[in-house]
Chain A
Amino acid sequence: MIAVYWQTAMAWLTQLEPHFAPLQVAIPLIAAPICVLIRQRRIAWFFTLVVTWVTFAIAVALLVQVRSSGDISYAIGGWEPPWGIEYKVDLLSALVLVIVAGIAAAVMPFARVSVEREVPNPRIYLFYTMYLLSLAGLLGITITGDAFNLFVFLEISSLSSYVLISLGRDTRALTAAFRYLILGTLGATFYVIGVGMLYMMTGTLNIADLATRLPALQNLRVVEAALAFLLVGVGLKLALFPLHTWLPNAYAFAPTVATIFIAATATKVSVYVMIRLLYTLFGGTDFFATTGVDEALVGLGMVGMIAAALIAIFQRNVKRLLAYSSVSQIGYMVLGLALGNVAGLTAAILHIVYHALMKAALFMAVGCATTQARVVQIEDLAGLGRQMPVTMASMVVGILSLIGVPLTVGFVSKWYLLQAAFVAGDWAIALVIVASGLIAAVYGWRVIEAAYFTDAPEGRAEVAEAPLSMLVPLWLLTGLCVLLALNAEWTMTLAEEAARALMNGAAAGVVP
C-alpha cells in the first residue's frame, strides 16, 4: 500500500522536476494568501514551516540540477526569451537561492515562540503572510532573468519587509519602517529609471539579451546614466555606506524573527543583484576600466568597513550594534566584488553565504536572550554567560566569526579578500581589511564582556535556558559557521566556479 503511494509520489515529482524553477517562486507566493485565510496562529505557523521547507528542498534540487547538467533556462508561459520572461538558474543564483530558502527554513522552528512573544496575537497570521511574500520576492529577484521582472520582485520583497518591520513592539519600529519605505521606494524607482533607459536604447528587457547588445552602445551617455541610476538604486537597497541610514533602526526595532530573516537575506540578495549588474548585464562593456565605477565602490566599501564598525562600538542597543556590524560587513562584499579579480569575486560570494549564516545565528542568539530575559541593551546581557550557557556560547562563535578568527567561516572569506587585495597589488586595502577586523574585536568584546565578566544584576529572577525549538536552529546555523570553515572546500569550489563563470562570461562579452 505504502509502496504504491510512494511510487505515485515519485512519478509526480519526476513530472514536476522540469518546472522547479517557477515553482521555487510560485509556492511561497501562492501560500501567502492561503496563510491569510487560515488566520489561526498555530496552524499558520505550521503551514509556513512546511512551505519554507518545501521551498528549501526545491532550492537544493535546483542546485543539484545545475551542478549535474548546467544552467537552467525556463520560459514562463512558453514565451521564448528574449520576448517572454525568462527564469535563469546558474551556479551563483542557485547558491543564493539555497542560502535564502535555507535561512527561511531554519528560522521557522525558531519563530513560533519568538513571534508569539513579540507580535500581538491577532496579527501573527499576517506576520507569516508577509514572511512568505518577502521570501517569494527575494527568491524571485534571484531567479529571474528579466530586468523589469526583477523590479517587481524587488518591490514585493520590500513592501512585505516594511510591514514585517512595522510589527515590532517598540513605537520606533513604525518610524523605522516609514524611513525604510521612503528610501527603499526611492532606490527601487532609481532602478526602474535605469532599466527604462536601457530599454529605450536596446528594446529588450532580458538580462542576457541586454548583455549582448550593450557593448555596441557603451559610448552613449544614456547608457552611462543608466548604470549610475542602477547602481545608486541597488546601493540604497544593499545599505552601501553612506546609503545605509535606514538599516540600523529597521534591524533594531523589528520583531526578532523579522530581523534575522531580513538581515540574513535581503541585503545579500541586493549584493547578488549588484554582481549581476556589473558582471552579467554590463559584463561585456568596459565600464570597469573607463568610468571609475570600481574605484568608487572600492572606496565606499572600505570607508563603510571602518566607519560603520567604529559606530558599532558606541551602540548600547545589542541589535543596533549588530546592525552597524552588518553595514560594515556589507563593505567587505562590495569591496570584494569591486576589486575585479577572481579572488575578490569569490570572497564576495563566499561572504554572502557566510555572513548570512553568522548574522542569522547572532540575531537568533539575541532573540533567545530577549525571549528569556528581555534583553535590549548590552548591560542586560550581564551574567547571562552563566545562566544561558548554550545561547551565549553560540554568540561567542558568531562574534569570533565576525572578527575573522581561524576555524570560523569569517576567516575563510577574509582570507580570500586579502588574497584579492594582494592580487590587485594594493597594500592599503589589506591594511583596511585587517583594521576592520580589529575594530570588530572591540565591539564584539563589549558583548562578551557583558555576558561573561559582569555579574547578573541583583533582584533579577533566575533566567532559564531558551527552549529547544529555539536552540536547535540556533546551533544548526552556529555549527555550520564552524563546519563550513573546517570543510571549506565545498563552498569554496562552488563560489570559485561561480566567480570564474561570471568573469569568463564578462570577458567574452556574452553571458555563459
Chain B
Amino acid sequence: MSYAVFSSFNYWMVIVLMMTGFFIVIAQGNMVKKVFGLNIFQVSVFLFYISMSPIEGGTPPILDERFELYSNPLPHVLILTAIVVGVAGMALGLALVVRIKAAYGTIEEDEIERLEEEMP
C-alpha cells in the first residue's frame, strides 16, 4: 500500500508544491512574496509535465539501434518554453513591485489599499 504512494511520489510532491504556491499567492500581503508564491505554483506544473515523460524500461530519447523503447522528450520541450514564459512573468512582476515601492513607499497589499481609498 505504501508502495502505491511512492510509485506516484512525484505527483504527490506536485500537489504539495502547487498548494503551497497557491496558498502563498492568496494569503500573503507582501507583493514580493506573492510573486515568489506564483513561481512555486508554476514550478509545480513544470514538475508535473516532466514527471509524465519517463516510460518504464525506456531509455533517454537518443536514436540508436540497440534501444527500442524511448522516454517521451516532448514534455521537456514544452516545459522549456513554459520556463521562459515563467521567467518573463516573474521579471515583469518584480519590476512592477519596484515601481510600486517607488510610487507608494510600501509593498504591503493592505497598506496600498488604504492609500488608494484616499485617492479620488
Chain A residues within CB distance 8 Å of chain B = 148, 151-152, 155, 159, 162-163, 166, 171-172, 174-175, 177-178, 181-182, 185-186, 189, 192-193, 196, 199-200, 203, 376-377
11 contacts between A and B (CB under 8 A): A171-B104, A174-B100, A175-B100, A178-B93, A178-B97, A181-B89, A182-B38, A185-B42, A189-B42, A196-B48, A377-B120
Q: Which residues of B contact A172 (CB under 8 A)?
A: 116, 119
Q: A181 with B93: in contact, given A172-B119, A377-B120 (CB under 8 Å)?
A: yes
- Residue of B41, B92, B100, B116 near A159 (CB, 8 A) is B92
Segment 72-115 of B: residues with Cβ below 8 Å from A: 72, 75, 78, 81-82, 85, 88-89, 92-93, 96-97, 99-100, 103-104, 112
Question: Which residues of B are interface residues toward A (Cβ below 8 A)?
Answer: 22, 25, 31, 34-35, 38, 41-42, 45, 48-49, 52, 72, 75, 78, 81-82, 85, 88-89, 92-93, 96-97, 99-100, 103-104, 112, 116, 119-120
* CB pair B45 A181 closer than 8 Å: no
Partner of B48, one of A159, A185, A193, A376: A193
Question: Are B99 and A174 in contact, with the CB atoms below 8 A?
Answer: yes
Residues of B contacting A: mostly: helix
Q: Is the CB of A185 within 8 A of B96?
A: no
Closest chain B residue, CB of each to CB of A180: B96
Q: Are A182 and B112 in contact (CB under 8 A)?
A: no
CB < 8 Å: which of B31, B48, B81, B88 contacts A178?
A: B31
Smallest Cβ-Cβ distance to B52: which chain A residue: A200
Q: Write the nearest CB–CB distance from A299 to chain B, whole angstroms.
A: 24
Q: How far is it, in angstroms, between the C-alpha of A186 and the C-alpha of B39 when the chains are bound?
A: 10
Given contacts A186-B25, A189-B42, contact A159 B96 (CB under 8 A): no
Q: Which 6 residue pairs across A and B have the least CB separation, nearest first?
A: A171-B103, A155-B85, A178-B96, A200-B52, A174-B100, A174-B99
Question: Which A residues touch B45, using CB under 8 A?
Answer: 189, 192-193, 196
Query: 4 new A-B pairs (CB below 8 Å) besides A178-B31, A181-B96?
Result: A148-B78, A178-B93, A182-B93, A196-B52
Task: Name the CB-closest residue of A to B103.
Answer: A171
Contact between B41 and A186, CB atoms less than 8 A apart: yes
A175 B34 Cβ-Cβ under 8 A: no
Q: How far is the CA of A148 from the CA of B38 in the complex (A)?
A: 20
